[in-house]
Amino acid sequence: MVKVKSKKFVAVSPTKCTGCSLCEYVCALAHNERPLNPRRARLRVIRATPAFNLVMTCRFCDDAPCVRACPREALIQSEENGLIKVIESKCDGCGWCVQACPYGGISIHPDKTSVLVCDLCESEGEPQCIKFCPEEALDLVTSDKEANKRLALAIENIPIEAERITRIVKEKAWDSLLAEAEERAKRLSEKLEAIDKKWGVKIKL
């Protein structure tokens, strides 16, 4: 059994996430996946409602179920930080690890017979999805409890946000919504420019 000594993983604040998918594109870019395709990312954006979006990625579990489920021993987990290495020459894309993961944190590469799993952008020195998120909805946490607490708070916030939007519509107070949208668009544009400067790629969302 692998007991991870010290782990950190990317977690989302669902109430901040707009579901823009920029993190998926950035992840693919950071791992030199070409041609650029968000399906080659090592995380997944799940759009539940306009006010509630999730980002699914590896949590580096103790004694990771995906590693135990692999029939070809193609996954190796570090005891130090929990990172999971994929040995592509052994992986045949059977998908057993995908089914075993309780957090939706592993996926099959769309163009290879191997799987994709977060490595916290080791080659970049820090997770690029966090760095380029325009809403600062992603950061590193150290426990499942912390990540699950955010999810619970976000679920509690859904009716509150729905009531707020309903009130704005009834009162036809569009100014606040338009101001929010303009600010989000500005932040997104700034991140897109930064991505172009770093990787020389213009992303159209």
Q: How many residues does the chain have?
A: 205
pLDDT in tens, 88-144: 999 999 999 999 999 999 999 999 999 999 999 998 999 999 999 999 999 999 999
pLDDT of residue 187: 97
pTM recorded for the entire structure:
0.92
Residue 191 domain-assigned?
A: no
Residue 113 burial (10 A CB sphere; 0-12, 13-18, 19+): exposed
Residue 177 domain-assigned?
A: no
Residue 193 domain-assigned?
A: no
Over range 21-27, report the average pLDDT.
Answer: 98
pLDDT of residue 106: 97
* Angle in degrees, CA 47, 81, 71, rounded to 5: 75
Give the pLDDT band (50/70/90) at residue 188.
Answer: very high
Domain count across the chain = 1
The enclosing domain of 28 has a CATH number of: 3.30.70.20
Residue 122 domain-assigned?
A: yes
pLDDT of residue 166: 87
How far apart CA 121 and CA 37 sit, in angstroms, is 17
Give the pLDDT band (50/70/90) at residue 1.
Answer: confident
Judge whether residue 36 has pLDDT over 80: yes
How far apart CA 137 and CA 54 sit, in angstroms, is 10
Give the pLDDT band (50/70/90) at residue 30.
Answer: very high
Judge whether residue 3 has pLDDT over 80: yes
Residue 195 domain-assigned?
A: no
Residue 105 domain-assigned?
A: yes
How far apart CA 12 and CA 150 sit, in angstroms, is 8
Over range 40-48, report the average pLDDT.
Answer: 94
Torsion of the alpha carbons at 161, 138, 49 and 19, rounded to the nearest 10: 120
Considering the chain, what is the average pLDDT of its residues? 94
Residues 6+ positions from 187 with CB-CB distance below 8 Å: 134, 135
Q: Which residues pair with 117 in a beta bridge?
A: 106
pLDDT of residue 164: 86
Residue 196 domain-assigned?
A: no
Q: Residue 141 is part of which domain span?
A: 9-156
Residue type present at position 125:
G
How far apart CA 60 and CA 104 sit, in angstroms, is 12
User: By percentage, how much of the chain surpasses pLDDT 70?
Assistant: 100
pLDDT of residue 160: 87
Kindly give the interhelix angle for 174-199 and 144-171, rounded to the nearest 10 degrees: 130
How far apart CA 43 and CA 9 sit, in angstroms, is 11
Residue with tokens 């579901």: 19
Residue 76 domain-assigned?
A: yes
pLDDT in tens, 136-182: 999 999 999 999 999 998 889 888 888 988 898 888 888 988 999 99
